[in-house]
Structure 1
Amino acid sequence: MIRNVSKLLSKTKNIGTQTKQNNQQDLKPQDFLYHDFDQNVETFRSIYVNCFDVMFRSFLLYGKTRALVIYIVGLSNTNGIEDFVLYPFMKETANEEQSFHKLLENQMPVSMVKRINTFTECIQSIATGYPILLCEGENDAFSLGLCKWEKRGIEEPAAEGGIRGSREGFNESLGINTSLIRRIIKSPALKMQPMRIGEYTETAVVLAYIEGLADKGLIEEISNRLKRIKIDGILESEYIEEMIEDNSYSPFPQILSTERPDIACANLLEGRAVILVDGTPFSLVAPISFFSLIQSHEDYYQRPLMGTLIRWLRYFFLGISLLLPSLYIAILTFHQEMVPAALLLSMAASREAVPFPAIVEALIMEISFEALREAGVRLPKQIGSAVSIVGALVIGQAAVQAGLVSAPMVIVVAITGIASFMIPRYAAGMAIRMLRFPIMLFAGTLGLLGIMMSIIAIAIHLCSMRSFGEPYLSPLAPLKFRELKDVLWKSPLWMMDTRPHFTGESNTHRQSPGLAPSPKQGGDQSE
């Protein structure tokens, strides 16, 4: 941004008289505002040439001193500019002894007034929706807190709904998103570091963490990775995710994306960091492990036994989603002796009219199912679900009757698709869906040996991965038995008294010991 402003300023450095040029030479960088009011106005007009939505409102301060308000229509509060800037300053009565700064403090009913002295700061303020006020005789401008733009209301996240828990979700406004976190975590230890990324978009990004819980080295590493991003623009948090993750070529995400404030706050309380990006409801959480992608917020809003059962179902169907078509191909092609005789005869009868081998049959069905799933996502909401469901039923039935695929293969693909929907995180589900195809090819050429080789390759890849320097399979590899109470099973809340090991060794305990409920703990009960 500074580079662009310097280019624009270099075009206007010869504008004006020799006095203006001398004033410009007095300033070390060209980015500083000039002492001459006319030169400042001319520079801003040259910067915003062919920008019809940028308004230059000139007026006389108490009928004597020239002043100018610059703002963008649609981003600034025009009613506030009229009521709180133009009306009080255009009154006929004025105190001669009162300075311009005193006028701002005493007569402008605006909560935020910030003094700025560079063109870059002025352009950033205008682009954010904060008007700037220039006054003759002043070499500083004033950014006024009078922004007002259209924003979406707070709604329940469509992709992360649940039976129990908060119904609030982030939206595209960064200010609302930070306030939702502040409303849950009220401690001043919650820190939010602002920064801007993108040469042209100047996207506002906030790094949130709890001081004393998050490791200082982790926060410094995330901050350094964010600051070294040099790009034209940031349109969604995925841009940042790709720029700061450890392994960009891995199908598995190393950063958790969520649009639920309660999930973001839960990770903050565990010592992780949250990255909020203006213009998107999806926040980023780092560091994470593979098991963070399998856990759901509802695991913590249910009783421990139910949470553990659902979590184990998730792990089981994760394996089904990844391996079921490959197992079907391998057993039917190379290992028919593993199938009971009655079932094998039934499957052979259903495949009698199918002209393709099992691997081709599976690829046809899997690709068709993925196409239907993507079509259901891209179509309008009113017809998307109907098209995907009806299309799957009609195409599946027609393919079986035409002899292109067998009925058992349709059942296998349907079960695989249902299993993939049990993965809470869409990015993790996409990784499993992508890995399913190479495993099917290995199964069709090497049988069960190919499946075992694929599993070993995936395990090696996961063990070698890190999320901001932390092992991706932690706490399973390396093994930390105490932390398995929130991974392989869901322990009661009173048992989870420690935080994950990689999120700050200085404050490891999150609650007092001995909180297990007991009838003897009643305050008024006599022994």
Structure 2
Amino acid sequence: MRYLTNKKQKPPANREIIDYDISTNIDENYNRLMQLLESCSDAVIRKFSFGNETETKALVVYFDGLADRIEVEDNVLRPLMLELKMVNDTSPEQKEKDIFTAVQDRILLIGEVETISTLQEVGHKISSGDTVLLIDGFSTGLSAGTRAWESRAVATPDAEHVIRGPKEGFTETMRFNTALLRRRIKSTSFKVENFVVGRVTKTDTVVCYIDGIAPKELVDEVRTRISKIDVDGVLDTGLIEEHIEDEKYTIFAQSESTEKPDRVVGHLLEGRICIIVDGSPMALIVPTTFPRFLISAEDYYERYVPSTLFRLARFIAFWIALLLPSIYVSVVTYHHEMIPTDLFLTIMAAREGVPFPAFVEALLMELTFELLREAGLRLPGQIGPAVSIVGALIIGDAAVRAGLVSTPMVVVIAFTGIASFVTPAYNAGVVVRIARFGFLFLAAFLGFFGIMIGILLLLTRMASLSSLGQPYLAPFAPLRTGELGDTIVRRPWTNAIRRPFMSGMKNLVRQKKDNSNGGNQG
């Protein structure tokens, strides 16, 4: 039995007040809200009366700091208390109907007005910045959109710098982020579906896609996976990412994260789906493939020749960052014949007096470099870069002077670190940082044979993964020759006739052929 109208009845001990419906008795609603919002000093509950011929009791409730107090006073309280003319009708039922209808349709001067019927909805609405109006005699309340909390302004993303292209980045306010996308996609085909995730936090989460381009089966799968998330709170997109990915126990990210709205729009136009969580400036892109992590948004703003060269350099840097320390250890330990004699003698002369084998030497330098990198990230912005750079110089020089490491090893680790910073996506950088240690161990025990085993295991593992059912190594495995023109190289826009293939996609045509405006003339 629901706790509805009996003022003396107390809710059962095993039931929360928030589980009950809105009562027709305004005093009862007031008492329930006072219990529900006990110890909430930022909650504002205002009882008042409105009307000329007969006074009707009502109350408004909102959270100070989330709702705009001026808008509440000017567009909710003032019209009700000063401007409402009660309908004089002899029929009580018609009179009550006219009161609620007049308030909802003609009095509230706010664009977003919704009806609610439970205290759980009241709690969610006011926690989202809305103002709830309850009227005596009605078991339905009104929610008015009065959100006006403080938020960070739109700024340049810290982790995704570009020279040419849009500089805007997402903020922690979800509606700002969806507005940045809506401004770039001026079409009603752009859909934004809302979900509430988290039993306690009730975090607003939206799924964005372009209807007619994104495969319907993919959209349904994302909806299903998000709907199944049952957790007490969501603070960032990272929790959503772990709950919807295909494989949980792997170092490979199966969704792409970005702070750039233009990058999200580019993915949406290719049929992918974007997930945005209120309170997080990072948007998730699903599905994704590993080669996408090595592609920068700036590739599509520069002309295709320099963009292709930069992308090739990025792929080469990825393999350098992954394999260079292990190759050096293999050559020094096992495969002396693989390098010129003069270079080998120079390396051996530099290593003379070093008490550790090449593997231990590389392992110590890699650990030191990773610690310095983490220290630079965690320290305040003003001193973090200085500590990481100066620390690397001082520690490296001191280690060489003390005879703990050789000069060639310092050069190898430094070159490896520079190559690892070339990767535009942090997700791919994490994979390189972790896998590099595995290759070091294989090189120390098996040399080049161990490195080849590691590469085969790495590629096999990546080929076995999928991102929401899409192959993780596409278009290399399975091989799709038509998409290779926008993977390792960047084809000209005039040749981008078709979108990248995804299972279930029906709209594959991106632009008409011969859309180059006479590009080869002259």
TM-score category (smaller protein): over 0.9
Equivalent residue for 1:48? 37
**Aligned residue identity for 2:82:** K
- Residue identity in the other structure for 2:118: T
Alignment partner, residue 148 of structure 1: 148
How has the CA–CA distance of structure 1 residues 489 and 198 changed in structure 2, closer, same or farther, with 3 Å as cutoff?
same
SS at match of 1:91: helix
Partner of 2:14: none
Q: Tell me the amino acid that sits aligned with residue 398 of structure 1.
A: A
**Identity across aligned pairs (percent)?**
43
Cα deviation, residue 107, structure 1: 2.8
Partner in structure 1 of residue 230 of structure 2:
230
**Which ranges of structure 1 fall in alignment gaps of 5 or more residues?**
1-8, 22-28, 523-527
Inter-CA distance 350–15: structure 2 relative to 1 (3 Å threshold):
farther
| 1:255 aligned onto 2:255 | yes
The Cα of 1:108 is off from its aligned counterpart by 2.5
CA positional deviation for 1:62: 2.9
Distance (whole Å) between structure 2 residues aligned to residue 520 and residue 473 of structure 1: 34
In the aligned structure 1, how far is the partner of 2:150 from the partner of 2:471? Answer: 42
Whether the 8 Å contact between 1:214 and 1:503 is mirrored in structure 2 is no
Residue identity in the other structure for 2:75: F
Number of the residue aligned with 2:366: 366
Quote the offset at 1:54 in angstroms: 1.0
Question: Take 1:520 and 1:393, find their aligned partners in 2: how far apart are those partners?
Answer: 52
TM norm structure 2: 0.93
In structure 1, what is the Cα distance between the partners aligned to 2:367 and 2:520?
60
Q: Deviations over 1:116-175 (max 9, x none)?
A: 111121111111010101111121111011121001111011111100000111101111
Summarize deviations over 1:424-468 as a string: whole Å, max 9, x none: 101110111100001101100111111111011001101111111
Distance 2:433 2:520 in 1: 52
Alpha-carbon distance in structure 1 between the residues aligned to 2:445 and 2:250: 24
Taking the aligned partners of 2:520 and 2:486, their CA distance within structure 1 comes to 28
Match of 2:379 in 1: 379
Q: What are the Cα deviations for residues 398-441 of structure 1, in whole angstroms up to 9, with x where unaligned? A: 10000000000000000000000010101110111100001101
Structure 1 residues 93, 494: CA separation in 2 closer, same or farther (over 3 Å shift)?
closer
Aligned partner of 1:289 in structure 2 is: 289
Cα distance, 1:521 vs structure 2: 7.6
Instruction: Give the structure 2 partner of residue 315 of structure 1.
Output: 315
Letter of the aligned partner of 1:53 in structure 2? D
2:353·2:403 contact (CA, 8 Å) conserved in 1? yes
Distance 1:306 1:122, change over 3 A: same
Give the structure 2 partner of residue 216 of structure 1: 216
Hey, what does 2:478 align to over in structure 1?
A: 478
Matched to 2:66, the amino acid is L
How far the C-alpha of 1:104 sits from its partner, in A, is 3.6
2:78 matched to 1:87?
yes
- The one-letter code sitting in structure 2 at the alignment partner of 1:286 is V
Q: Determine if the alignment matches structure 1 residue 31 to structure 2 residue 20.
A: yes
Q: Does 1:67 align with 2:62?
A: no
Residue 300 (structure 1) aligns with: 300
Q: Deviations over 1:250-306 (max 9, x none)?
A: 111110000100010001000111111100110000111111101000111111111
Measure the CA separation in 1 of the matches of 2:33 and 2:130.
Answer: 15
Q: Distance in 1 between matches of 2:27 and 2:195?
A: 32
Q: Which amino acid aligns with 1:79?
A: I
Structure 1 length normalisation: TM-score? 0.93
- Secondary structure of the corresponding residue to residue 349 of structure 2: helix
> Which region of structure 1 is more displaced relative to structure 2, 274-283 or 46-55?
46-55
Matching residue's letter, 2:344: L
**What does residue 328 of structure 1 align with?**
328
Paired residues of 1:271 and 1:504 also in contact (CA < 8 A): no
1:271 aligns with 2:271: yes
CA displacement, residues 58-92 of structure 1 (integer Å, 9 cap, x when unaligned): 11113722111111111011111112222222228
Q: AA paired with 1:101? A: T
**TM superposition shift of 1:519:** 6.5
Displacement of 1:13: 6.9
User: Cα 1:114–1:519, aligned 2, differ >3 Å: closer, same or farther?
Assistant: closer
Partners of 1:270 and 1:500 within 8 A in 2: yes
Cα distance in 2 between the residues matched to 1:492 and 1:469:
29
Measured in 1, the distance between the counterparts of 2:168 and 2:363 equals 40
The secondary structure found in structure 1 opposite 2:383 is helix
Tell me how far 1:15 sits from its aligned partner: 6.0
Which residue among 61, 69, 86 is the counterpart of 1:78? 69
CA distance in 2, matches of 1:313, 1:240: 33
The answer as to whether partners of 2:60 and 2:134 remain within 8 angstroms in 1 is: yes
Deviation at 1:53, TM superposition (A): 1.2
Gaps of 5+ in 2: 12-17, 89-97
Secondary structure at the counterpart of residue 382 of structure 2? helix
Partner SS, residue 393 of structure 1? helix
Match of 2:93 in 1: none
Q: Confirm or deny: 8 A CA contact 2:258 2:282 kept in the other structure.
A: yes
SS of aligned partner of 2:515: coil
Structure 1 counterpart of 2:414, which letter? A
Structural RMSD (CA): 1.9
CA contact (8 A) 1:213 1:504 kept: no
Provide the rounded CA distance (Å) in 2 between the counterparts of 1:341 and 1:136.
94
Whether the 8 Å contact between 1:116 and 1:122 is mirrored in structure 2 is yes
Deviation at 1:359, TM superposition (A): 0.5
Q: Residues 300-345 of structure 1: CA distance to partner in whole angstroms, max 9, x if unpaired?
A: 1111111111111111111100000000001101111222111111
Contact 2:5 2:28 in 1 (8 A): no
Say whether the 8 Å CA contact 1:271–1:503 is kept in structure 2.
Answer: no
Aligned to 1:5: none
- Aligned 8 A contact 2:443 2:450 in 1: yes
**Offset, 1:17:** 4.2
The equivalent of 1:4 in structure 2 is none
The residue identity in structure 2 corresponding to 1:251 is I
**Other structure's SS at 1:325 match:** helix
Please tell me whether the aligned partners of residues 271 and 505 of structure 2 are also in contact (alpha carbons under 8 angstroms).
no
Q: In the alignment, is the contact (CA less than 8 A) between 2:116 and 2:142 conserved in 1?
A: yes
Q: Could you tell me how far apart the structure 1 residues matched to 2:521 and 2:346 are? A: 63
Moved more, 88-97 or 112-121: 88-97
> Map of 1:131-210 to 2, 5 A cutoff?
131-210=131-210
In structure 2, what residue type is equivalent to 1:268? L
